[in-house]
Amino acid sequence: MLSNLEKRMLKPFIGYLDERDEYQQGEIYKILAGACMHAFYLTTGLMLISLIVDTINRTFTFGTIALFIVNQLVSYNILFRLRKTGIAETEYDIEADYKKIITGLRKKFTLAGIQWGFTMLILMEFLLPALAGEELEIHWFSPLIWFISGAAFGVVTYFFKKEMLKK
Amino acid sequence: MNRVAEYRKLSGLSQLALSKEIGVARQTVNLIENDKYNPSLDLCIKLAKALDTDLNTLFWEVNHHAE
């Protein structure tokens, strides 16, 4: 459900005059959901580009911080409302089905953790220092830090996803 | 295929007149008649009342070959 503020914002945002019926409202929500997803991925891309440009110029601009904050706010808003309404939850009445899904999730988030750790290792230890024109100094503990971070990322996202599955 | 269009014509209503009676846009009535939009139960009841019939008559799929 839209909040009162959102209801008031919707009319001028879309630009209709009188009330919309249920079909039209449904279509408006679909369009807005699609636009929100596109905007989120676009701002994420722009944030990365802005971070790369900042790194090259050895600075940290307001744009990068603002894009990061906007993305975080949008993410938490969506996550909070999804959890509140329970829309993302899936219920299982058969134990075997639940266990099968959990096993699949473990594999999926193990891979996600490895991928995240590896990506961050390349990005933070090689790519960004190279773009900043710094000398590459690889310490023995760098891969270890990113391995632990990747494991933490995988475990946290796994438990977050697991919470959405109910027996 | 539902029977909204058939009963609307029997009632002598245009799509616009029916849409005004049930409080939706004419396009929505057109989409319902052409099975391109599944209306909510609330809207189905409004349609049935406006066309002076019931939900089964309007929306229940009947196998005519079996009749």
User: Residue A93 is which amino acid?
Assistant: D
* Nearest by Cα to A79 from A150, A147, A167, A156: A156
Confirm whether B9 is domain-assigned. Answer: yes
Choose, out of A23, A29, A30, the residue to mutate when testing the contact with B (most B CBs < 10 Å).
A23
pLDDT attached to residue A135? 81
Contact B40/A at CB under 8 A: yes
Instruction: State whether A22 and B25 contact (CB < 8 Å).
Output: no
Confirm whether B67 is domain-assigned. Answer: no
Distances from the Cα of A136 to the Cα of A72, A109, B7, angstroms: 31, 30, 78
pLDDT per position as a tens digit, B10-37: 999 999 999 999 999 999 999 999 999 9
Confirm whether B18 is domain-assigned. Answer: yes
Instruction: State whether A21 and B37 contact (CB < 8 Å).
Output: no
Instruction: State whether A21 and B23 contact (CB < 8 Å).
Output: yes
Residue B66 has pLDDT above 70, yes or no: no
pLDDT attached to residue B64? 58
Residue with tokens 């929100």: A36
SS3 category, A15: coil
Contact B31/A at CB under 8 A: yes
Contact A24/B at CB under 8 A: yes
Task: Locate B59 and state its tokens.
Answer: 């929306």
What H or E segment, with its residue span, contains residue A90? strand A90-91
Residue B61 has pLDDT above 70, yes or no: yes
Task: Locate B57 and state its tokens.
Answer: 């008559």
pLDDT per position as a tens digit, A117-126: 999 999 888 8
**Total domain count, chain B:** 1
pLDDT attached to residue B63? 66
Residue B41 contacts residue B54 (beta carbons within 8 Å): no
Task: Locate B33 and state its tokens.
Answer: 């008649």
Give Cβ neighbours of residue A90 (< 8 Å, ≥ 6 apart): A164, A165, A166
Contact B17/A at CB under 8 A: no
CATH code, B37? 1.10.260.40
B51 lies in which domain range? 4-59
Residue of A nearest to B40 (CA): A22
The complex's ipTM works out to 0.84
SS3 category, A88: coil
Task: Locate A43 and state its tokens.
Answer: 């701002």
Confirm whether B66 is domain-assigned. Answer: no
Task: Locate B15 and state its tokens.
Answer: 């799509």
Q: What is the pLDDT along chain A (167 residues), one digit of tens a residue?
A: 778 888 888 889 988 888 899 999 999 999 999 999 999 999 999 999 999 999 888 888 999 999 999 999 999 999 899 888 888 888 988 989 999 999 999 999 999 999 999 999 998 888 888 888 888 877 888 889 999 999 999 999 999 899 888 88
Confirm whether B65 is domain-assigned. Answer: no
Residue B41 has pLDDT above 60, yes or no: yes
Measured distance CA(A40)–CA(A75) in Å, rounded: 9
pLDDT attached to residue A155? 96
Distances from the Cα of A149 to the Cα of A95, A104, B63, angstroms: 32, 21, 61
* Nearest by Cα to A108 from A41, A165, A157, A163: A157
